[in-house]
Structures are given as C-alpha cells and as structure tokens.
C-alpha cells in the first residue's frame, strides 16, 4: 500500500487529524480506493448564502477535496500535486440534509490527471457536477 493511501486510511480511521479545510467545514471522508474518494458534509445554516441555500463555494470545496484525494491516492511516495483547474456546474439548490461528493479519476497520465465528481443530496438527487485537472510535482 502506498504512503498516500495509508494517509487517507489513517484519516478515515481517526489516526490522523483531518486536513484543516475538512475541520473548518466539518466534512468527512467516508470511502476511498486508489483513484476514487467520497466525502460527506452535513448541511446547516453556517454554510448558507444570502438566499438561504448552500453557498456555491461549499460545493466547490467538497468536490475539490474529493477529487484531490482521489488523485493523491495514485501518487508515488516522492510526488505531490497541484490542481490546475476546477470547473463546476450547479444543478439544484440545497437547504438541508447531507451532501455526498463522489470522485473518480477518468484519465491518469504521467504528469496530469483528469477527475470528475458528482455531488448528491440526501434524496439521491444530483445537485452538482465538477471536474478538475491536477499536475504531478516532485517533493522537494
């Protein structure tokens, strides 16, 4: 098992602290494998925009986290990465319940990876779709 998959496993099992953004927004990794990750967030009013629906940035954060973790699980121990783009389409507003962001790698090359993510509400309705491209970097 790679160090990066072990890192994700240790977070899920509570052996390591969640990343700061996960603690700030209180989302959790609920599933993972090599090249895929699912995160979940419970909705409350602190995540609302002025229209009393979940702010679009929250959708972006959980999609970016899921896709980034998916890419992380494919890296060699001497590699890190950066996102080079993020695109999201909002399909439905959300006011309550839970959001689940499931991501998978669609194409992984030597230097770049392309991921897609679907975000679902508690009623199993698709509320947003996102995609991202990440670039492999060497650790210093």
**127 close to 117: Cβ distance less than 8 angstroms:** no
| Number of Cβ atoms within 10 Å of the Cβ of 87 | 12
pLDDT at 1: 65
pLDDT of 2 reads 83
Give CA 97 to chain center in angstroms: 18
Please say whether the beta carbons of 72 and 8 come within 8 A: yes
Buried b (16+ CB within 10 A) or exposed e, 102-140: bbbbeebeeeebbbbbbbbbeeeeebbbbbbbbebeeee
pLDDT the model gives residue 68: 97
Q: Would you write out the chain's pLDDT as a tens digit for each of its 140 residues? A: 689 999 999 999 999 999 999 999 999 999 999 999 999 999 999 999 999 999 999 999 999 999 999 999 999 989 999 999 999 999 999 999 999 999 999 999 999 999 999 999 999 999 999 999 999 999 87
DSSP 30: E
E strands present in 10-124: 27-33, 36-42, 79-90, 98-108, 112-121
pTM recorded for the entire structure: 0.95
As a whole number of angstroms, the distance between CA 52 and CA 66 comes to 25
Which CATH superfamily is 3-138 part of? Answer: Hotdog Thioesterase (3.10.129.10)
Structural domain boundaries in the chain: 3-138
d(CA 117, CA 105): 9
């Amino acid at each position: 098992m790679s160090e990066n998959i072990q890192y994700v496993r240790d977070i899920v099992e509570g052996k390591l602290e969640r990343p700061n953004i996960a603690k700030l927004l209180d989302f959790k990794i609920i599933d993972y494998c090599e090249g895929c990750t699912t995160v979940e967030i419970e909705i409350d009013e602190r995540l609302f925009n002025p229209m009393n629906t979940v702010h679009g940035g929250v959708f972006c954060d959980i999609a970016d986290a899921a896709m980034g973790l998916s890419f992380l699980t494919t890296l060699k121990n001497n590699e890190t990465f950066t996102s080079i783009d993020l695109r999201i389409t909002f399909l439905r507003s959300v006011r309550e319940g839970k959001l689940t962001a499931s991501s998978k790698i669609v194409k992984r090359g030597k230097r770049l990876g392309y991921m897609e993510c679907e975000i679902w509400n508690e009623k199993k309705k698709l509320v947003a779709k996102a995609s991202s491209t990440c670039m492999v970097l060497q650790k210093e």
